[in-house]
Amino acid sequence: MTGLSATDIRVRFGAMLALDGVSIAIPPGGTLGLVGESGSGKSTLGRALLRLHDLAGGKIMLDGEDVTRASGARLKNYRRQVQIVFQDPSASLDPRMNVARAIEQGMRLRGERDPAALGRLLDTVGLSRTVASRLPHELSGGQRQRVAIARALAVRPSIIVLDEVTSALDVSVQALVLNLLRDLQAELRLSYLFISHNMAAVRAMSDEVAVMYRGKLVEQGHADSFFAAPSHPYSRSLLEAVPRLRHLREPPASAPGPFGPG
């Protein structure tokens, strides 16, 4: 079995069970879109997959190898294959590290010594080579997110967790980042876990879709069939609630959703 899969993941924050038995598999070379509202546990799942949270239970498998309890060199090796890009690039870049240092950190860990590699990586994510010496605050939001993507790519991962990567960006910049991610996927045969509360972005990016609600997975399936006919009532209310640009003024679901008024 290839790719990354997680079975029955549980994460506990104090008395609260943030993830309650979640199982997902990321299709190799494809994208699993993970949707849900705030507090549903979708970002926790993304971090748990990278072993950034302690697991209270469950199992993580990468290419048939159990990495749930991997430590030391095995954990490092695992983390080189699975990378993460966060929502807010201004928080996910060290304010005192320039672009070159931030990216080279990962390249050195991989054993890359070629000084030209940095330039090639900057080209890959569509950044001018002149930004190498800049600090994060000297870059725009879209540029920072490209740096964060380049930093993740520096260790040549096969899987990237994309945690709300466009939420902090201006709408006119989102498309650039989404297009870039799709190009990189085709070029580098990457697998994505695309976490977002934006249903339309998930629709545009994903081959498969999983829906989370209060720490549980309520539905998982092929993207086309999911968006055509979601089976779980929560998924339906979620889709119905999305304001449509091209279908104006459909009769609104003015009655409270199945889970009561927010």
Partner 1 sequence: MTGRLNLASLLAGIGAILLLATALVAPALFSDTVSRMDVAAAGTGPSAEHWFGTDDLGRDVFARTLAATQLSLGLALAATAIRVVLGVAIGMWLSLSGSLARAIGTRIIDTALSFPAILIAIVITTIVGPSIEGAVLGVGLAGVPTYARLGYTMSSAIVGRDYVAAAKALGLGRIAILWRHVLPNIADTLAVSTATSLGLAIVEIASLSFLGLGVNPPAFDWGRMLIEGAEAIYVNPAAALGPAAAIALSGLIFSYLGEAIALWIQPMRSGSLVSRSDIDGAASAIAPLRLDAGEDAILLAENLSVAFPTEGSQTVAAVRNVGLSIGRGETVGLVGESGSGKTLTAMALAGLTGHPARVSSDRLLFTGEDLTAMSGALRERLLGTGLAVVFQDPSTSLNPALRIREQMTEAVRHHRGLSEEEASALALEQLGLVGITEPGRRLGQYPHEFSGGMRQRAMIAMGLMMRPALIVADEPTTALDVTVQAQILALLREANGRDGTAILMISHDLAVISQVCDRVLVMYGGRIVESGPVEQVIGDPAHPYTRALIGAIPDLDTPRGQRLVEIPGQPPVIGAFPRGCSFQERCPARQGACAASEPPQTEIGAGRVVACWLYAAPHAEPDAKSDTKSEAAA
Alpha helices per DSSP H over 111-248: 117-124, 141-153, 171-188, 199-205, 223-228, 233-241
Determine, following the binding rule CB under 8 A, whether residue 257 of this chain makes contact with partner 1. Answer: yes
**Closest distance between partner 1 and the C-beta of residue 242, in Å?**
6
CB of 59 or CB of 80, closer to partner 1: 80
Q: How far apart are CA 205 and CA 213, in angstroms?
A: 21
* 242, 199 contact by CB (below 8 A): yes
Region of residue 83 (phi > 0: left; psi between -120 and 50: alpha; otherwise: beta): beta
* 1, 15 contact by CB (below 8 A): no
Determine, following the binding rule CB under 8 A, whether residue 153 of this chain makes contact with partner 1. Answer: no
Residues between 74 and 93 with contacts to partner 1, criterion CB under 8 A: 75-77, 79-80, 82-84, 86, 88, 91-93
CB of 1 or CB of 224, closer to partner 1: 224
SS3 124: helix
Residue 77 CB contacts under 8 Å (≥ 6 apart), including other chains: none
Determine, following the binding rule CB under 8 A, whether residue 47 of this chain makes contact with partner 1. Answer: yes
Determine, following the binding rule CB under 8 A, whether residue 239 of this chain makes contact with partner 1. Answer: yes
**Closest distance between partner 1 and the C-beta of residue 129, in Å?**
18
Determine, following the binding rule CB under 8 A, whether residue 216 of this chain makes contact with partner 1. Answer: no
Determine, following the binding rule CB under 8 A, whether residue 146 of this chain makes contact with partner 1. Answer: no
Q: CB-based burial of residue 10 (10 Å sphere; 0-12 exposed, 13-18 middle, 19+ buried)?
A: middle
CB of 21 or CB of 207, closer to partner 1: 207
Determine, following the binding rule CB under 8 A, whether residue 221 of this chain makes contact with partner 1. Answer: no
**Closest distance between partner 1 and the C-beta of residue 37, in Å?**
4
